Chain A
Amino acid sequence: MLKWFASAAFALALGSAAMAEDLKMAVTTSFHNSGLAEVLLPEIKKDTGIDLQLLVVGTGQALRLGEAGDVDAILVHAKAAEEKFVAAGHGTHRTEIMYNDFVIIGPKADPASISGAGSAAAALQMIEGAEAPFVSRGDDSGTHKKELSLWKGAGVTPEGAWYKAVGAGMGSALNTASGMNAYILSDRASWLNFGNKGDLALLYAGDPVLFNQYAYIPVNPEKHAHVKSDLAMQLEAWLVSDRAKELIDGYRLSAEQLFTYNAKSE
């Protein structure tokens, strides 16, 4: 029994030691749901030899993972929180890579008639005015933070029975909205990839305030000596390369371009 036990433990230890050139990166659900990762990962492996392991979490948790040193780099979209993260010394620097945009989804019948709204703020005011059900991520993710800043910009405090914070990832929140026929703020990629659209439709998009900037932050090796800093720098060099630009700009989902490459180092 004991022998069996030891060999099982040994096999397990061996299994994890075999992965030498791996790099752990925390990314947001919206990035992962876009399907872009499945295009980039094999190319990264081919060009740099890095086995990139993605931890798909909300921005809030991604930042915490970086802070604790549990990942080597993060790719998120919440500028204010990112800058705070770098200022606190948890990350070495912040490099903007690309952006996509948020869209407002809602029931096809559009009870708050937001499809003709002049701005994102006006659309939100209409939803609040009509007290139409609205599903919020409520999970401290980048999308949730964006939504809160949009409400603030519209001068509305979202509360009441119509405002439902579900505390879930983008996909689960979309499932909830689909079930309740509610309005919801989503990134375009998650929406296009979502398989349970039901009676929902894309109702509002295009306001520049809805643009969603992704940035790459390597975790600071001065705080966490075990972090694979050189690999993280190698990955950054790849992310700002022409090869990445070509792949990111060329990525299509349902014949739509999702991401616009705009890398510039700060």
Chain B
Amino acid sequence: MSELWEGLTQAFWLVVTLDADLVGITLRSLRVTLTALILASAIALPLAAFLAVRRFRMRRLTIAVLNALMGLPPVVVGLIVYVFLSRAGPLGVLGLLFTPTAMVIAQVIIIVPLIASVAHQSLRELWAEYHDLLISMNTTQTQRIATLLWDGRRALLTAALAGFGRGIGEVGAIMIVGGNIDQVTRVLTTAIALETGKGNFALALGLGFVLIALAVAVNLAIHWLSRTETEGRW
């Protein structure tokens, strides 16, 4: 119990004094996960809308696989990305292993299925509502997808935030592909794992509280910016 209190105190002082290491680690966490989130959303959201609008033979199977991949174990993703990016692997010439880019790649793979599944769920309902209207207006498929994405933006925001949550709290994959190098690839979660290993529970907890606060702050900021829960449905 005393450790929890010590952790809170440490977190408080780290934040108040703007500890240089903490700021660096936190910004790196944000940079990696936000980059991964942007890339993953750019892939997953159009994919979700496409799956809602278009009927094709393998559609059900694709959706089922996507849902199953939501539970993709990060440590396995990390291992696979590692094997690909290692100098001995097929993409070794790029020299990406143990760089922030490698961490972004791993996180994109982890969060694309999650964002796509959650987004597809809500877009499907929206499509049921819009179906007759959009068909009668003789819209093209691209126009239908664009309409769904725009009118469903609030629900898509929730999907993206779920992806952010999974990315920012993830440790298994980025530990393997990033290597937890000080000042280069050390982020909040890997720093927590490291400090726990040293038996510095208070500092590890302090970093943990910072991580939680960061996740809450990002969510609040996005909700505030997009003014959800303040006006009508959209």
Residues of A within 8 A of B (CB): 1, 4-5, 8-9, 12-13, 15-16, 19, 22, 24, 29, 33, 53-57, 67-70, 169-172, 174-175, 178, 193-197, 224, 226
Contact = CB atoms under 8 A, between A and B. Distances in A.
Contact of B197 (A70, A170, A178): A170
B37 to A, nearest CB: 10
Nearest to B197: A171
A53 to B, nearest CB: 5
11 contacts: A4-B38, A8-B39, A15-B100, A54-B182, A67-B88, A69-B92, A169-B197, A171-B196, A171-B199, A196-B201, A197-B199
Interface residues of B, number: 28
Given A12-B104, A53-B184, A68-B88, A33 B97 contact: no
Given A16-B100, A53-B98, A194 B198 contact: yes
B197 A172 contact: yes
Contacts of A16: 99-101
Contacts of A172: 196-197
Given A15-B100, A16-B101, A195 B199 contact: yes
Given A54-B181, A68-B88, A1 B198 contact: no
Contacts of B198: 33, 171, 193-195
Contact of A55 (B35, B87, B181, B196): B181
A29 B197 contact: yes
Given A16-B100, A53-B181, A70-B97, A195 B201 contact: yes
A12 B179 contact: no
A241 to B, nearest CB: 23
A70 B95 CA distance: 8
